């Protein structure tokens, strides 16, 4: 099996209100998302036709709406919702979603909190 082609959109940023704690829901914080799609881009390359691949500008808008939308408690839930957006496109075979929460309050110095998931079409 050939290595799948990949399209990546990294660093989609939004101020959102996800989190378990009331203070996270009230004041919100910055979240970032990376999405790496696996798909076959050969038809798009052969025809130079955007309709035969994923329009990453449209995808970024859809992911941003979820990221900045309805709050959830867990980053795992948010990552799944974002993966579902990607897999709704029939061209996408699999996706890796990484959610960054760099402003989480851990009580110790840190650079980032990250949850990554990979989901594939069944």
Measuring CA to CA, which residue among 29, 21, 8 is closest to residue 100?
Answer: 29
Question: What tens-digit pLDDT sequence spans the chain (122 residues)?
Answer: 577 999 999 999 999 999 999 999 999 999 999 999 999 999 999 999 999 999 999 999 999 999 999 999 999 999 999 999 999 999 999 999 999 999 999 999 999 999 999 999 87
Q: For the chain, give the longest Cα–Cα distance.
A: 53
Q: 101 an active-site residue?
A: yes
Catalytic residue among 23, 101, 116, 118: 101
Phi, psi of 72 (to 5 degrees): -130, 160
pLDDT of residue 1: 57
pLDDT of residue 104: 95
Q: Architecture of domain 5-120 in CATH?
A: 2-Layer Sandwich (3.30)
The structural domains of the chain, with segments of one domain joined by +, span 5-120
Measuring CA to CA, which residue among 55, 34, 33, 32 is closest to residue 44?
Answer: 55
């Amino acid at each position: 099996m050939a290595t799948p082609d990949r399209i990546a959109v990294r660093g989609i940023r939004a101020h959102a209100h996800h989190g378990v704690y009331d203070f996270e829901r009230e004041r919100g914080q910055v979240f970032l998302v990376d999405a790496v799609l696996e798909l076959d881009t050969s038809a798009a390359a052969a025809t130079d036709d955007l309709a035969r691949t994923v329009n990453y500008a449209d995808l970024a808008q859809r992911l941003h709406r979820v990221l900045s939308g309805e709050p959830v408690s867990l980053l795992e839930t948010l990552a799944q919702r974002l993966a579902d957006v990607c897999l709704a496109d029939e061209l996408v075979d699999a996706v890796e979603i990484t959610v960054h929460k760099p402003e989480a309050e851990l009580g110790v110095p840190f650079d980032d909190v990250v949850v990554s998931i990979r989901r594939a079409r069944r």
